[in-house]
């Protein structure tokens, strides 16, 4: 299986790219924005020391800052290259953390701290999932007709909610009362990244599981109920096509760039 690395203006759905344990497909569209600032890549790790594996990453360059397209592409390139160049001696969580920190520094110096990107990355190795995220891109698991978000959003609202829990309080209302609840508290390019959401223990996958990595142009537009209905398909490419139809059906006047990767587990069984 070769690697797919995409950053383009046109809507596009890529063909499935794996016949290993996970079969993958990707989708990207520009929405109503003038520039595509999302980027993504996925591919096999079979030619690396991490045999029988698949890696996927979605990045969302920050449109409200400088160089969103550069930031998104750089984030994906740094994470992709870390896995393609690994010697196999570094545990996957450490590899993910080092790649995220490298991406942060490269983007920070490239844009002089004036731009950034979110990113969510997943590696499936020997039927186990490892993941890492910075910012508010999404990682979902569909299992047994249910949808679970596996990573956490790093934004003002979520951080304040966690702070309230640590104080012994439970109040989403207070957390969301900020003037900018969706403002990112962490992103690649911030410089000196302090918090990365990493799975330090492997998450065991089951045959039939479906993983969705996506930008907020997808999960910020479609409800979890609608996402689940799409992910109940039997083929990742068909699910990508259905996902795009769902997004287009919303007819959102300010539709953001949208990018998704779908991984279906157990395809070689």
Are the C-beta atoms of residues 26 and 254 closer than 8 Å to each other?
Answer: no
Say yes or no to pLDDT of 179 above 70: no
Tokens linked to 88: 């196999």
Place of tokens 């690396």: 48
Q: Note the pLDDT of residue 165.
A: 59
Whether pLDDT at 63 is above 80: yes
Nearest to 73 by CA among 37, 108, 99: 37
Structure tokens at 231: 């992910």
In a domain, 140, yes or no: yes
Averaged over 172-184, what is the pLDDT? 60
Kindly indicate the confidence band of residue 120, based on its pLDDT and cuts at 50, 70 and 90: very high
Estimate to the nearest angstrom the gap between the alpha carbon of 246 and the chain centroid: 19
- Residue 81, in any domain of the structure: yes
Say if 181 falls within a structural domain.
Answer: no
| Structural domain harbouring 79 | 4-152+186-265
Model pLDDT, residue 9: 39
User: Domain for residue 57, yes or no?
Assistant: yes
| Closest to 38 measured CA to CA, from 138, 159, 124 | 138
Please indicate, yes or no, if residue 166 is contained in any of the structural domains: no
Altogether, the residues listed in the chain come to a count of: 269
pLDDT of 175 over the 70 cut: no
- pLDDT of 49 strictly over 50: yes
Inside any domain, residue 169: no
Structure letter (DSSP) for residue 35: S
The tens digit of pLDDT for each residue in 124-146 reads 999 999 999 999 999 999 999 99
Q: Is the pLDDT of residue 241 over 90?
A: yes
CA distances to 88, 103, 108, 211, 219 from 78, rounded to whole Å, are 17, 6, 13, 22, 24
How many domains is the chain partitioned into structurally? 1
Residue 161 lies in a domain: no
167, part of any domain: no
**pTM for the full model?**
0.88
CATH of the domain at 193: 3.60.40.10
Residue among 249, 231, 237, 215 at smallest CA distance from 13: 237
Q: What is the mean pLDDT of residues 56-60?
A: 98
Nearest CA to 71 out of 155, 187, 156, 152 is that of 187
């Amino acid at each position: 299986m070769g690697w797919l690395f995409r950053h383009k203006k046109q809507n596009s759905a890529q063909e499935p790219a794996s016949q290993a344990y996970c079969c993958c497909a990707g989708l990207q569209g520009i929405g109503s924005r003038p520039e595509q600032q999302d980027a993504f890549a996925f591919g096999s790790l079979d030619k690396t020391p991490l045999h029988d594996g698949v890696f996927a990453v979605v990045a969302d360059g920050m449109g409200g800052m400088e160089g969103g397209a550069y930031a998104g592409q750089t984030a994906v390139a740094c994470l992709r290259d870390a896995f393609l160049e690994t010697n196999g001696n570094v545990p996957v969580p450490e590899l993910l953390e080092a790649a995220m920190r490298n991406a942060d520094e490269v983007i920070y110096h490239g844009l002089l701290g004036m731009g950034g990107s979110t990113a969510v990355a997943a590696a499936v190795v020997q039927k186990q999932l490892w993941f890492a995220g910075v910012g508010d891109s999404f990682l979902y698991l569909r299992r047994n007709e249910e949808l679970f978000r596996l990573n956490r959003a790093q934004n003002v609202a979520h951080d304040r909610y966690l702070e309230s829990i640590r104080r012994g309080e439970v109040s989403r209302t207070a957390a969301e009362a900020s003037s900018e609840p969706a403002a990112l508290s962490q992103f690649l390019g911030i410089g000196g990244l302090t918090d990365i959401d990493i799975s330090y223990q492997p998450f065991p996958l089951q045959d039939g599981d479906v993983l969705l990595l996506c930008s907020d142009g997808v999960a910020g537009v479609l409800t979890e109920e609608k996402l689940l209905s799409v992910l109940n398909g039997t083929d990742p490419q068909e699910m990508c096509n259905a996902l795009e139809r769902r997004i287009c059906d919303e007819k959102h006047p300010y539709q953001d760039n949208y990018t998704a990767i779908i991984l279906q587990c157990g395809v070689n069984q």
